[in-house]
Amino acid sequence: MVHRNTNAVRDAALRGAGFRVTPQRQAIIRVLETSDRPLSVEEIISRMKGYRSGVPTVYRNLQQFAEHGWVETLVGPDQIMRFVWCSTSKHHHHVQCEQCGRAVEVEGCALKRALEAMEAKSGFRITRHQLQLFGLCPECKGE
């Protein structure tokens, strides 16, 4: 039974990070894990099945998850925070389709070279970066 196993893994991860396992946390994670796009707090709550968390609870948990590298917080030009689940806490980036909104992780980071070039140009030592990619997903580009 795959589902049960997934839940067990998730709960273990929560406990391992010092969290108590609450239905709210489980619901938040479940929604994010099964979403194909970044979600706002409002969207996360409205997508919960069987359990409805309060707004502050969702914000608090998302912030904690972000500190653990489990979610990435994106804030676009509309000033609204949106959250994506990260399958790995290794450095990576996300591409989002400008047509349908779908977002996927791009494993790894191909910026090493480019960053070296920019270090040379600027004289800065670059220690951290944040890259947001936008474009057309396979489905939308074949149209």
Instruction: Tell me the number of residues near Zn ion by CB under 5 A.
Output: 7
Which of its own copies, DNA, Zn ion, none interacts with 118 (beta carbon under 5 to 8 A by kind)?
its own copies
137 near Zn ion, judged by CB under 5 A: yes
DSSP letters spanning 19-44: ----HHHHHHHHHHHT-SS-B-HHHH
Look at residues 69, 84, 24 and name the one whose alpha carbon lies nearest to residue 48: 24
Tell whether residue 36 is a contact of its own copies (CB under 8 A): no
Does residue number 50 form part of the binding site for its own copies (CB under 8 A)?
no
Phi then psi for residue 119, to 5 deg, are -65, -45
Binding residues for DNA, per CB under 7 A?
A: 15, 18-25, 40-42, 52-57, 59-61, 63, 75, 79-81
Rounded-to-10 torsion of CA 78, 81, 87, 93: 40
Interface with Zn ion in residues 50-109 (CB under 5 A): 97, 99-100, 109
Name the residues that contact Zn ion, by CB under 5 A.
Answer: 97, 99-100, 109, 111, 137, 140
